């Protein structure tokens, strides 16, 4: 029998993503393995960017921030989900729920604006390559990064604070595997129509502004590419931008599916599956996409592996 560990009556109950059938035990193993790979690959990507001098550019600094957001995202969601599943305990305190909402919304909003900053970086690199060091200087890069974190943090603080201010009815069962504002608001014992409307508008704006910026940047990039006479130059440009476009597609596709659909088309089961894809599987794809599609990253990785094997060989010979 499952223990909810809710002796105070104020805790929430996470119904979770998986049950205890053989099939779901297999899926749990996949989730756990994906979590570990995601954690290690993103941490390694951050270390690689900061260790290799060839990757000390604004583009890769922004990529390291994307990896940092992915690391915090999986640490926000997966450990609690795994511990609850293994210990047969589904409860989460209001404080723990508030922390999950705050971090999830902060990272989600921050990534929206960070991807827009990365699109601007690609626009400057392709359309104004000679002025790149001036237009994409270190100060501007730091300001865009700080702005992404700040805007996401403000949105996360507002959503977490307002969501937890509502009175909630019993049983406090959240039909999700982590605390998410829309799932939590459904349990409120009061009318939340106004808050849900403003939350919807806020989500649309948090998506619309960065997406407009990304589309404008790539529209200008496309115009520049079509004016190029060299096929090799066009191919190089598309290769440079393809990694970012793939990440943008994965990220905005899942976010739009979860938050921008009309309420009448929403399903808790579908939302959980898509949320699992976004919070667990997408973070492992980002470093994979950039390592496979990017020559500089592959070169830095090859250089690191050569140094590691040389060091291991020297130790073996000395031993």
Q: How many helices (H) and strands (E) does the chain have?
A: 11, 3
| pLDDT for residue 319 | 62
Q: What is the mean pLDDT of residues 108-119?
A: 93
Quote the DSSP letter at residue 130: G
| pLDDT for residue 293 | 66
| Token pair in block for residue 252 | 């905005």
Of the chain, the end-to-end C-alpha distance in Å amounts to 54
Q: What pLDDT digit, counting tens, does each position of 156-177 carry?
A: 999 999 999 998 887 788 888 8
Q: Examine the pLDDT at 8 and tell me if it is beyond 60.
A: no
Can you name the residues that pair with 168 across neighbouring β-strands? 188
Residues present in the chain in total: 319
Q: Where residue 7 falls among pLDDT bands split at 50, 70, 90?
A: very low
Angular region, 6: left φ>0, alpha ψ -120 to 50, beta rest: beta
Contacts of 300 (CB under 8 A, 6+ apart): 48, 49, 51, 52, 54, 55
Q: What pLDDT digit, counting tens, does each position of 45-83 carry?
A: 898 888 887 788 898 899 999 999 999 999 999 999 999
Quote the DSSP letter at residue 279: I
Q: Which of 27-41, 114-128, 196-210 has the weakest average pLDDT?
A: 196-210
Q: Are strands 91-92 and 12-14 parallel, antiparallel or unpaired?
A: antiparallel
d(CA 234, CA 289): 20
Edge-first strand listing for the sheet containing 91-92: 91-92, 12-14, 173-174
Q: Tell me the percentage of the chain whose pLDDT exceeds 70.
A: 91
SS3 assignment, position 2: coil
Q: Where residue 4 falls among pLDDT bands split at 50, 70, 90?
A: very low
Q: Examine the pLDDT at 259 and tell me if it is beyond 70.
A: no
Q: Are 14 and 79 in contact (CB under 8 A)?
A: no
Q: Where residue 234 falls among pLDDT bands split at 50, 70, 90?
A: confident
Q: What pLDDT digit, counting tens, does each position of 186-203 carry?
A: 888 888 888 888 888 888
Q: Examine the pLDDT at 130 and tell me if it is beyond 80.
A: yes
């Amino acid at each position: 029998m499952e223990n909810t560990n809710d002796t105070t009556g104020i805790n929430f109950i996470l119904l979770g993503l998986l049950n205890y059938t053989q099939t779901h035990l297999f899926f749990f193993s996949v989730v756990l393995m994906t979590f570990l790979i995601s954690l290690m690959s993103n941490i390694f990507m951050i270390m690689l960017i900061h260790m290799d001098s060839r990757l000390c550019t604004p583009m890769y600094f922004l990529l390291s921030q994307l990896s940092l957001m992915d690391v915090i995202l999986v640490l926000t969601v997966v450990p609690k989900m795994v511990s609850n599943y293994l210990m047969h305990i589904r409860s989460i305190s209001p404080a723990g729920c508030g922390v999950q909402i705050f971090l999830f919304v902060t990272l989600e909003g921050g990534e929206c604006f960070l991807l827009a900053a990365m699109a601007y970086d690609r626009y400057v690199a392709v359309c104004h390559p000679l002025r790149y060091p001036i237009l994409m200087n270190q100060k501007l890069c730091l300001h865009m990064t700080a702005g992404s974190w700040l805007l996401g943090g403000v949105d996360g603080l507002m959503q977490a604070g307002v969501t937890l201010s509502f009175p909630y009815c019993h049983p406090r069962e959240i039909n999700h595997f982590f605390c998410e504002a829309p799932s939590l608001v459904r349990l409120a014992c009061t009318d939340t129509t106004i808050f849900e409307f403003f939350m919807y508008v806020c989500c649309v704006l948090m998506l619309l502004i960065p997406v407009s910026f990304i589309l404008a940047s790539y529209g200008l990039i496309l115009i520049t590419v079509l004016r190029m006479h060299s096929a090799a130059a066009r191919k190089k440009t598309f290769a440079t931008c393809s990694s970012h476009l793939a990440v943008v597609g994965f990220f905005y596709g899942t976010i739009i599916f979860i938050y921008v659909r009309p309420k009448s088309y929403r399903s808790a089961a579908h939302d959980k599956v898509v949320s699992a894809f976004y919070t667990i599987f997408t973070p492992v794809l980002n470093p994979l996409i950039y390592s496979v599609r990017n020559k500089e990253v592959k070169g830095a990785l090859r250089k690191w592996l050569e140094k590691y094997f040389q060091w291991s060989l020297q130790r073996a010979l000395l031993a």
